[in-house]
Amino acid sequence: MRQYHNILVTGGAGFVGSNLALWLKRQHADATVIALDNLKRRGSEATLPRLRQGGVEFTHGDVRNAEDLRLDARKIDLIVECSAEPSVLAGYGEAPDYLLNTNLIGTINCMDLARRTGADVVFLSTSRVYPIATLNALKLHEEPTRFALDAEQSIYGVSERGISERFPLEGARSMYGATKLCSELLIQEYCEMYGVRAIINRCGVLTGPWQMGKVDQGVFTLWVAMHYFQRELSYIGWGGGGKQVRDLLHIDDLADLLTVQLARFDELHGQTYNVGGGVASSLSLLETTQLCQQITGKTIPVQAVDANRPADLALYITDSSRIEAITGWRPQRTPEQTLQSIYEWIVAEEATVRHIWA
């Protein structure tokens, strides 16, 4: 097992990056953990005191600028690449420059740093690499509170467990999904040509405390927050009934997986894995509303909007059986526990986060 001494977490003031940076510092107490972030996302500045208190070194920088990654003198030996423009709606109706430069050029700059220093790389990709039209062609049936997969499917790579790594990749997937898939391909070339060791995790919906959730990214945190602050929400698309389904993964469950992956990097590098909560940790928006009502004790108006937005999906559930079979890792937090942890965080940090939602 390789010992890491200088660890770089890109997007390190974001939800995923900050939580993983703090976890890495706890796991590797003698290592220097650097969180690099451009602080563009609203609310990211609120994480800086947490990073400082947790012993993580913050660097204000941007993965789009190669000069900001000139950290060779630190001899970076592990890069956890969490930087991204994470919204699937980015680029629709607007210029895609920031999205393309952050998600694609940023990856190139990070991989070139790994090439120079010999660092291992964990790249956080996304389930959004799978094509929208193909996902929406899945055979579904309607249950009282959700859409559900039919037992018989004509599309390869889907089963009662959800979407596996074998799901077809031909077709459009949003500019966000395309940049992440392109990054995956580039990483494979850096591994082959330069001997960089890398693991790619295609994550479903990640959530938990310290996520500044929005409609297009962080929907489960948004749902809890809107109930707590008693703001209106909407079921958008698919008839406006709130039956569209996603699986969710607590950020601490992802950290548990990284514990295993870093310990077994020799075995796991060069591979791409679907990582998510799976069927057991999936919720429709309607079910999420019901849980939020129970947890917060509050009821809010939820409007119905029939029309779909670009890139909307009726259902996506991650089949993580490959990584589970290889490592024995499985998510430990239930949806109820995850939403409860978000609620308790909002209550405890209301003064810090109120301006984000209220």
The pLDDT profile of the chain, 358 residues, written as one tens digit per residue, is 789 999 999 999 999 999 999 999 999 999 999 999 999 988 888 999 999 999 999 999 999 999 999 876 679 999 999 999 989 989 998 899 999 999 999 999 999 999 999 999 999 999 999 999 999 999 999 999 999 999 999 999 999 999 999 999 999 999 999 999 999 999 999 999 999 999 999 999 999 999 998 877 899 999 999 999 999 999 999 999 999 999 999 999 999 999 999 999 999 999 999 999 999 999 999 999 999 999 999 999 999 999 999 999 999 999 999 999 999 999 999 999 999 999 999 999 999 999 988 8
Spatial contact of 79 and 35, defined as CB atoms under 8 Å apart: no
The confidence score (pLDDT) of residue 72 equals: 64
pLDDT attached to residue 217: 84
Backbone angles phi, psi at 284, to 5 degrees: -85, 165
pLDDT at res. 151: 93
- Quote the pLDDT of residue 1: 72
Give me the pLDDT at residue 79, please. Answer: 98
Give percent helix, percent strand, percent coil of the chain, each to the nearest 5. 40, 20, 40
CATH topology of domain 1-130+173-203: Rossmann fold (3.40.50)
Question: Could you tell me which of 263, 253, 331, 201 has the C-alpha nearest to residue 28?
Answer: 263
pLDDT of residue 42: 80
Residue 24 backbone phi and psi in degrees, to 5: -60, -40
The tokens for 333 are: 């937090």
What pLDDT score does 93 carry? Answer: 86
